[in-house]
Amino acid sequence: MTKRIEDYALIGDCESAALVARDGSIDWLCWPRFDSGALFAALLGTPENGHWSMAPANGGVTRRRYRDGALILETDFETESGSVTLIDFMPYHREGPSRLIRLVQGRSGEVEMVTEFVLRFDYGLIVPWVTRMDGKGLQAIAGPDMVVVYTNASVKARGLKHAGVFTVRAGETVSFVLSYAKSFEQPPPPIDALQALEETEEAWRRWSQRCTYSGPYLNPVLRSLITLKALTYRPTGGIAAAVTTSLPEEIGGSRNWDYRFCWLRDATFTLLALMNSGYRHEAGQWRTWLRRAVAGSPHQVQIVYGLAGERRLIESTIPWLSGYENSKPVRIGNAAADQLQLDIFGEVMDALYQWNEGHPSP
């Protein structure tokens, strides 16, 4: 059964992002950037193209929410034998590699949990070489990519997958820390998952407290602002239009585009929303990104750029993925970079004007 797009929740660290289904499965994750190859690509294919499930062995009732003011997702599972909460997040202010952390915390009774870990590099195509490291780590390598997972649960190989069954009792926590690195680098070391949770929540809440909006529907507005912030690529200040590619405009249709890039029009509207809510620092970062991206001949200004200002966004198709609900083709890159759309000039000038109004010259 195909999962509905609206049932996916976003987590991210302002460099990459993952989509978590209502059943606890991570079906989309690109590393190390929003526009990198996906290592969990079930969203656009099948579970064999990469996913990471986490759920009670015997099913149960689920409820989901984000922690207030933070990009930390909590999924409650209620079963006949007990209840647990699955906490998913990516550390926000961090040193070292990008990480994705999953915590299963027991709230009452005991719950038998099952997890299946299917890792495939390059949009679900490449099966990596997986080895067990000293201690409780698994290392997966293929080409330039490496992923390491540390856990205090027992996870074993089953063919070209890894799976585990573990029991969580009230007051216990089972942790999984997934980290990315280049295959020619040293494997990322283990970290304290609970400390990372505390630091991430504190960092996001500090950011949320800068919000100056005080009108109606404050909580939904703040949640939208957090999502817009999550689309910002921290190293450069560029703002991605989306974290996904090839979700169809119409089920079964062919208008399936890659939106993991920085459209000047979309970024302008995002900036206005952020600036009007007190987040002018983000506007300054984007202004600096824009000046680098469009530097050179004015005749060569594009409507869309890469996260670091790249101009060549060569479009191609991925034939081995079936597409969301068989909506083909699955595309990466975007040929819209060669289009002429004159409205971008007015929108960009508006954003720059609004930024300058908030930063008058001395």
For 242-295, write each residue's pLDDT tens digit: 999 999 999 999 999 999 999 998 888 888 899 889 998 888 898 899 989 989
Concatenated DSSP letters of 239-279 = B-S-S-B---SSTT-S---B--SEEHHHHHHHHHHHHTTT-
Residue ranges covered by each domain of the chain? 5-204, 216-358
Measured over the CA atoms of residue 94, residue 95, residue 100 and residue 101, the dihedral's sign is: negative
The yes-or-no verdict on residue 357 having pLDDT over 80 is no
Fold of 5-204: Beta-galactosidase; Chain A, domain 5 (2.70.98)
Contacts of 203 (CB under 8 A, 6+ apart): 92, 93
Cis upstream peptide for 360 (omega within 30°): no
Query: Percent of the chain at pLDDT above 70?
Result: 98
CA distance linking residue 138 with residue 190, whole number of Å? 11
Q: What is the pLDDT of residue 362?
A: 43
Amino acid (one-letter) located at 158: R
The pLDDT tens digits for 28-56 are: 999 999 999 999 999 999 999 999 999 99
For residue 235, name the pLDDT band (cuts at 50, 70, 90).
Answer: very high
Of 164-168, 249-253, 344-348, which gets the smallest average pLDDT? 344-348
pLDDT given at position 358: 67
Q: Where on the phi/psi map is residue 270: left (φ > 0), alpha (ψ -120 to 50), or beta?
A: alpha
Average pLDDT of the segment spanning 91-109: 92
pLDDT digits (tens, 9 = 90+) for 2-23: 789 999 999 999 999 999 999 9
Half-sphere exposure in the Cβ direction for 300 (13 Å, CA): 10
Position 272 scores a pLDDT of 87
User: What does the pLDDT read at residue 283?
Assistant: 85
- For the record, the structure tokens of 99 come out as 């990480």
Q: What is the pTM of this model?
A: 0.95
